Each structure stands twice: as C-alpha cells, then as structure tokens.
Structure 1
Amino acid sequence: MSAVLKSQHQFRPMQMDDLDAVMAIEPHIYLYPWTRGNFSDSLTSGYSAWVLVRNEQIVGYSLMMMVLDEAHLLNLSVDKDFQKQGLGRLLLEYMVETARSNQMANMFLEVRSSNISAIALYENMGFNEMAIRRAYYPAADGREDAVLMGLAL
C-alpha cells in the first residue's frame, strides 16, 4: 500500500459514539446490514473494532473476534463513496497485523459466494478457501452460500 494512502487515513478504536456514523454507512452497502445492536454487542464484548478515518470522517470499519489463537474477521466495510480506492485492502492489512500482534495463529472469515471482488482481495492477501457454508446468508431469493476462508498468520 502506498505511503500516501496510509498517510491520508488513520485507524482508531471504534467507540459507541461512532455508531451513528457506522450506521449511516452499513445499510447503504449491504442488503442485509448489521444492526446497531450487532455493533453495540461487539463493542461491549470487547471485540477488536476499528474505524478508518479520513479528514475526521469515518470511511470504513472492521470488527474481529479473537479467541485463544484464532481471529475471526466479522465485518470489513468501506463507505460506498470511498470504495475502489484500496481502502478495503488497507483495512484488511490492518486487521491481519492486529491479529498477528495479538499472537493469533490463524485468521478466518466468511464471505458471500457472490462477492467476487472481496474473494479476490482475500485471495490476494493469502487467504485460502476452506469450505462452503451452505445457505449461510439471507438473500433476496432465499439464502446464499458463504465461502469460509482462512489465513495462517
């Protein structure tokens, strides 16, 4: 990632006060968004939750649960107006480094089987497909499969 892209953005821990900004993004990028309660519960549970800030505006966020030596990426999102600028990769790199710095051995995630660009990003970052979780996500025509991916840290 370029030094310019990194210098324009900063990471900081997500706080309850950030949820209005996060909830302004979430329903615009997902047909089945997380609820405010999902985010609040994640923060209360002590998950690793981060916002990506540019010019004092939250442009992305990510949450990860770490248990024993495994990290599970729960949500990685970039505001629709800031997509296709390398910010998803920047967020993912940050979360992988966070997992490594917390001595996690592996990182896992699920991604919609139809989300080809996200799957390409994860594969480019070294994640491998491990399994298919049948009918994991809600979808307009019923349910959609998830691709379970993993990365050895």
Structure 2
Amino acid sequence: MNSLMAIETACHDFPWSEKTMHSCLSGRYFNGALYVQNELVGFYIGEVAGPDHTLMDICVAPPHQGQGHAKALLSDFIAASEQAGAENLFLEVRESNVSAIALYQWAGFTEAGVRKNYYPSANGKEDAILMALTLSFGSESTLLS
C-alpha cells in the first residue's frame, strides 16, 4: 500500500487518499501492477459495473515514465477486461492531460462526453473528458499498432 501511495502522490497534484486507495483494492475492483527489477513502477485500478469496466486510476512513477510502461498497463487493463467478458470500457481524464489522452486514443478510446468542473485544480475546477471503448470480441486485438 505504501508503494502505491508513493506513486499516486508523485503522479497527481490531487492524489487519492489512502482510505480511497484502500477501498479500491477489493470488492468490485481489480488491479494490475508493473514491476521492473522487483521495483513497483506502475499500477492501474479498474472497476466492474455490470458488463462495463472503468479505468479508475493508472500511474507510472515519474522516473519510469516515457518508457512504454503506461501502454503495458493499459494493454493489461484491456486484456483483463476482455477476459472477464466486459462489453465497454470507460474512463475520465483531465482535459489538460494531453499525454494520457494520446495514450487512450492509441488504445482505441474515443471521446464520449465532458464532465464539467469534475476535477479539482490549482485554479478551481477542471473538466474531465469521458472516453469509451467498445470491445470487439473475436478479433485478435482491440489495440491499434
């Protein structure tokens, strides 16, 4: 838990609380972690809601960013969701987080709406872009090359 919180805090100006993190590690949630040389460098947390899955959080420790680890984690989230029989995947992302938006677009997510004033920010509130991906069963991959 300490390693998760250290990465969460390093990645976000407004990180989850330890209580929130703890509550998202069981029940209807599932997660994945990425280790490099026995060091936790990133993780994701997904939520199951009927036939849909939501990516609640994805983080890569700053010293390990830009090395493809977020792609690996997102690919694992999608694969785990497919294996569980999910029909649709959803996520919200800060409108200012252009690198995350590009990552999600690379994976096939498309904009599905906007949540106005969703995230806290240094200047008050920031909109969230709602993104979605419909899983196509029977294809070799839902990811774009």
Structure 1-normalised TM-score? 0.86
Q: Deviations over 1:108-140 (max 9, x none)?
A: 000000000110110111000000100000000
Partner Cα separation in structure 2 for residue 52 and residue 35 of structure 1: 21
Say whether 1:146 aligns with 2:128: yes
Aligned length: 135
Q: Mind listing any 5+ residue stretches in structure 1 that lack a counterpart? A: 1-18
Following superposition, the deviation at residue 44 of structure 1 comes to 3.3
Partner Cα separation in structure 2 for residue 119 and residue 102 of structure 1: 25
Partner of 2:57: 75
Say whether 1:24 aligns with 2:11: no
Q: How does 1:108-123 map to 2 (within 5 A)?
A: 108-123=90-105
Following superposition, the deviation at residue 46 of structure 1 comes to 4.1
Partner Cα separation in structure 2 for residue 137 and residue 144 of structure 1: 5
Letter in 2 for 1:48: F
Q: 2:43 aligns with which of 56, 61, 68?
A: 61
Partner Cα separation in structure 2 for residue 46 and residue 54 of structure 1: 27
Q: Mind listing any 5+ residue stretches in structure 2 that lack a counterpart? A: 136-145
Percent of pairs with identical residues? 36
Aligned Cα RMSD in Å? 0.8
Structure 2-normalised TM-score? 0.91
Partner of 2:66: 84
List structure 1 segments (4+ residues) > 3 angstroms apart after TM superposition. Answer: none
